[in-house]
Structure 1
Amino acid sequence: MIEIVKPALQHLPSYKAALESGWSPDNVRLLEATREQLAAIEEDPVAFLASLDDPQAKGPPIALPDGTTVARLPGFRRWIWDGEAAGSIGFRWQTGTSALPSHVLGHIGYSVVPWKRGRGYATEALRLMLEEARAVGLDYVEVTAKPGNPASQKVITANGGRLVERFFEDAAYGGAESLRFRIEL
């Protein structure tokens, strides 16, 4: 059985070990994000954990992959947990609306460690995160997946997602083709 847990000191050694194995919780920035997280854990583990939970968007601006910065949205990250770190799932939103700015690819993003993929972990983690989305009052969430990633598409559709558009990502992300799914809440 898996759960999504708020990042905490007791879970940090397992999460850090997953990072050290080469896994990245960020499907866009990949190993750059892994290195940044490992450095932040080394520098101040408590501050690192606090940075993952920001529902009031009090943290610093966000750096996009092309180096531009944008205002932080309310959001938080949870760790996918089965007795050890199995992945990460994040949720972000704009207060007062279900819509997102164009530079935000989706409300929810997730990554499962390679050695636990194919077990339904992402599907269950997304289902659990949808409860969080309902709790902040959203009418729907949008989740994106690459056309060549049928596993992620299956996770989204298993949670009620329907394809709403093929689009090209914001230039800050390289302008690659992507699929946008909507899950009504």
Structure 2
Amino acid sequence: MPPSALQLVWPSPEHLPGYIAALERGWSPNNLRAEAGREELALIRTDPDGFLAGLVDREAKGPPIALPTGGTVPRLPGYRRWLWDGEFCGSIQLRWQPSTNALPSYCLGHIGYGVVPWKSGRGYATAALRALLPDARAIGLDHVEITTSPDNLASQRVIRANGGVLVEEFITEPGLGGAPELRFRIDVRELG
């Protein structure tokens, strides 16, 4: 399907079976912690309504976030939307700190996204990011930062296609893997 067929949907009972199927196929919504997919399956089996409610947490009331190397950090306000073209395609997340563009050092970017492998190459990540950027402006951000690894050329194309400009190459904190990353910035002030 063309990217124009893509929708961003709110996590809901209607769309949950598609999400579960992706997790059962081994996809993880967290590119730093592959085990997050299995953890989410366990949460869904225990409390599907609570799981869905936790994906939209604008007040950061949920539990702390687990780091790849262990330990936890405070949750930021944010939410996840699911990519949908008639079936589940991936997810995109927006997170922020109220009244500032700044993020704590343990948060690599305002937006994170992932497309399931069997739907990649269709322009869905580019379309999803484009669709989410007005949300960032609506919550008061002037710009968003998005990071990706230097070898993830597909993600770099997605970010650049949406106006992303490379601002730095850096090494992540040890708790986030201590790996090289690229930080891009997208100005959202001109969006509607």
TM-score where L is the length of structure 1: 0.98
- Whether 1:87 and 2:90 are equivalent positions in the alignment is yes
Partner residue of 1:177? Answer: 180
Q: Distance in 2 between matches of 1:22 and 1:71?
A: 27
1:130 is matched by which residue type in structure 2? L
Partner residue of 1:13? Answer: 17
Could you list the runs of 5+ residues in structure 1 that have no partner in the other structure?
none
The 3-state SS of whatever aligns with 2:15 is: helix
- Whether 1:135 and 2:163 are equivalent positions in the alignment is no
Out of 26, 32, 42, the residue aligned to residue 39 of structure 1 is 42
C-alpha deviations, 1:122-175, integer Å up to 9, x for none?
A: 001011111110110100000001000100000000000000000001111111
The 3-state SS of whatever aligns with 1:178 is: strand
- Which stretch shifts more, 142-151 or 68-77? 68-77
Partner residue of 1:27? Answer: 31
Q: Distance in 2 between matches of 1:128 and 1:170?
A: 30
Q: Which aligned pairs between 1:95-114 and structure 2 lie closer than 5 A?
A: 95-114=98-117
2:8 is matched by which residue type in structure 1? I
C-alpha deviations, 1:60-95, integer Å up to 9, x for none?
A: 222212222221110000101101100011110000
Structure 1 runs, 4 residues or longer, greater than 4 Å off? none
Q: Distance in 2 between matches of 1:66 and 1:95?
A: 27
Q: Distance in 2 between matches of 1:60 and 1:33?
A: 14
Q: Which aligned pairs between 1:112-131 and structure 2 lie closer than 5 A?
A: 112-131=115-134
Q: Distance in 2 between matches of 1:127 and 1:159?
A: 6
2:159 is matched by which residue type in structure 1? I
Partner residue of 1:155? Answer: 158
Q: Distance in 1 between matches of 2:145 and 2:125?
A: 16
- Whether 1:70 and 2:68 are equivalent positions in the alignment is no
Partner residue of 1:51? Answer: 54
Q: Distance in 2 between matches of 1:33 and 1:62?
A: 11
The 3-state SS of whatever aligns with 2:183 is: strand
Could you list the runs of 5+ residues in structure 2 that have no partner in the other structure?
none
Q: Pairwise CA RMSD of aligned residues?
A: 0.7
TM-score where L is the length of structure 2: 0.94
- Identity across the alignment (%): 64
Q: Distance in 2 between matches of 1:44 and 1:174?
A: 31
